[in-house]
Amino acid sequence: MIFDLIIKNGTLVNHAGIGSGDIGVIGGKIAAVGDLLTQSAAQIIDAKGLHILPGIIDSQVHFREPGLEWKEDLETGANAAVLGGVTSVFEMPNTNPTTSTIDDLQEKVRRATGRMSCDFAFYAGATGENTGQLAELEREIGCAGIKVFMGASTGKLLVKDDVSVGQILQNINRRAAFHCEDEYILEQRRELARFDDPTSHHEVRNEEAALNCTKRLIRLAREHKKRVHVLHISTASEMHLLKEHKDLATIEVLPNHLSFAAPDIYEKIGTLGQQNPPIREQYHQDALWAAIANGLVDVIGSDHAPHTLEEKAKPYPTSPSGTPGVQTMLPVMLTHVANGRLSLLRLVDLLCHGPQRIFGLVNKGRMALGYDADFTLVDIKQKRIIQNDWIASKSQWTPFHGFEAIGWPTHTIVRGNIVMGNGEIIGRGLGQPLEFLENLK
Which residue numbers are catalytic? 303
Q: Any residues with CB less than 8 A from the CB of 368 and at least 6 apart, and which?
A: 14, 15, 30
- Measured from the CB atom, is 279 or 367 closer to ligand DOR? 279
Geometric angle at alpha carbon 259, from 256 and 264, rounded to 5°: 95
DSSP, collapsed to helix, strand or coil, labels residue 34 as strand
Give the shortest CB-50-to-ligand DOR separation in angstroms. 34
DSSP, collapsed to helix, strand or coil, labels residue 44 as strand
Give the shortest CB-303-to-ligand DOR separation in angstroms. 6
Which class for 1: exposed (0-12), middle (13-18), buried (19 or more C-beta within 10 A)? exposed
Give the shortest CB-98-to-ligand DOR separation in angstroms. 11
Span between the terminal Cα atoms of the chain, in Å? 31
Secondary structure element (H or E) that encloses residue 231, with its range: none
**β strands within 27-140, DSSP E:** 29-34, 40-46, 51-54, 56-61, 86-91, 119-125
Give the shortest CB-171-to-ligand DOR separation in angstroms. 23
- Measured from the CB atom, is 276 or 439 closer to ligand DOR? 276
- Measured from the CB atom, is 29 or 189 closer to ligand DOR? 189
- Measured from the CB atom, is 93 or 331 closer to ligand DOR? 93
Give the shortest CB-179-to-ligand DOR separation in angstroms. 5
If we measure between CA atoms, which residue out of 372, 380, 358, 387 comes closest to residue 417?
A: 372
- Measured from the CB atom, is 321 or 376 closer to ligand DOR? 321
Q: What residues are paired with 143 via a beta bridge?
A: 122
Q: Peptide bond before 317: cis, by omega within 30 degrees of 0?
A: yes
Residues that bind ligand DOR (CB under 6 A): 62, 94, 153-154, 179, 275-276, 305, 321-322
Residue nearest to ligand DOR (CB): 322
